[in-house]
Amino acid sequence: MTEDAAPGVRATVDAIYRAESRRVFATLVRLLGDFDLAEEALHEAFRAALEQWPREGVPANPRAWLVSAGRFKAIDGIRRNSRFDPLDEEAEQIAGNDDPASWADDEIEDDRLRLIFTCCHPALPPDAQVALTLREVCGLTTEEIAHAFLTAAPTQAQRIVRAKAKIRDAKIPYQVPSQADLPERLESVLRVIYLVFNEGYAASAGATLTRHDLSGEAIRLTRLLVELLPEPEAIGLLALLLLHESRRAARASPTGDLMLLEDQDRSLWDRDMIAEGTTLVERALASRRIGPYTLQAAISAVHAGTSSANATDWAQIAGLYDELARVEPSPVVELNRAVAVAMRDGPEAGLALVDAILARGELADYRLAHAARADLCRRLGKTAEARVAYERALALTRQEPERRFLQRRLSELNSN
């Protein structure tokens, strides 16, 4: 191969790294049984590609070539170390398995699914599940994860290290759960993805309303899950994420201020995402195995299919919240239902429900509960109560666009 072709090969290797590296990594984890060894083998494989492909040409199946190269690089390292230290049982198993079928190309997608379930194993703490999934399945760096969740990089690094150690020491299996265990384990995976999306769609703190890279990763991960395991609730979650994401461009003003759903410019909504999300909702509902993500997606689809805020079918939305409260009862679901009831039956009916929720104390420190109460009091002309509720919501809010919105509401009350 000529020297002129070498830059083209480098560009090809870079493109393959972006598209295939996490697939290759997932298979190397299965073959080598260790996250760190697989990560090192992955980089060795791409280093070998940069050295060999300019001379030998790009192989017909780059993914399988990289898996094979990475595995043999790791085995070479294990055998070199064995000159000084005897191989332990696991190392012998890795070095002794030369069956090419064990890294066949048609198994690589299954390996990604295995990796997702391993990273989201219920034996790991929830924050570790999120961090490990973003690091190992999505390929984000520790610094990127720390930035996304506004934590220190060493804190995230420790979570990831502890999670890997837990997987190794507890011998957590690298496999898709059995059919009997799948519903419970899938719920854990979907919850992790939903947490990642929510932090990207409505950041819990910081200067910006959203973090597109994080919600984008969640959508990419859910697409992968639906492709590999098309369960109704996975389809419902993908629908929900797409329908929420379709409104991103309208959720903030050009100056970065929060725009409520009723005030959004609906011409900015992404119609392709809405069409795809609505189709997925219908597919999930048709399964008759309807779970909480599908119901939330159905609610979002009602909003997405409405031409204006005034035309919203609040009776249908309230009915869907009734079903959601039955399927997955929680104070937050009750709060959202109360807002829908207020839009259907009037603010007084909604306020009675919100007050009952707050009286139980479960949402005493939940900023959106106080913001909802403040808005209902404002609409009813209860200015003093609205002011107290806005001040409480403001004290609990760490996101700057939300803080500015609440401060504007307070200023409007004070000027009346």
Helix axes 153-169, 35-56, angle to 10 degrees: 100
Q: How far apart are the first and last CA of the chain?
A: 78
Can you give the pLDDT at residue 198?
A: 81
Answer for the pair 42, 78: CB distance below 8 angstroms, yes or no: no
Can you give the pLDDT at residue 22?
A: 87
> What b/e sequence results for 193-210 when a residue is b if at least 16 CB atoms lie within 10 Å of its CB, and e otherwise?
bbbbbbbbbbbeebeebb
Average pLDDT per consecutive 10 residues, the chain (416 residues; last block may be shorter): 61 90 90 90 94 91 92 85 50 45 53 87 90 86 76 90 93 84 84 82 58 80 88 96 94 88 94 98 95 97 94 97 95 96 97 97 92 97 96 91 92 83
Can you give the pLDDT at residue 205?
A: 53
Can you give the pLDDT at residue 81?
A: 67
Can you give the pLDDT at residue 150?
A: 63
Helix axes 212-228, 182-201, angle to 10 degrees: 160
* H/E segment holding residue 395: helix 383-396
Answer for the pair 297, 281: CB distance below 8 angstroms, yes or no: yes
Answer for the pair 193, 218: CB distance below 8 angstroms, yes or no: yes
Answer for the pair 317, 299: CB distance below 8 angstroms, yes or no: yes
Name the amino acid, one letter, at 275.
A
What is residue 258's three-state secondary structure? strand
Q: Which CA distances in Å does 150 have to 155, 201, 204?
A: 11, 15, 9
Answer for the pair 201, 215: CB distance below 8 angstroms, yes or no: yes
Angle CA 199–204–207, to nearest 5:
105
DSSP string, 183-228: HHHHHHHHHHHHHHHHHHHS-SEESSS--HHHHHHHHHHHHHHHHH
Answer left, alpha or beta for residue 206, where phi above 0 means left and psi between -120 and 50 means alpha: left
Question: Both tokens of residue 292?
Answer: 């909480």
Q: Which CA distances in Å does 237 have to 1, 101, 105, 117, 226?
A: 48, 34, 28, 17, 9
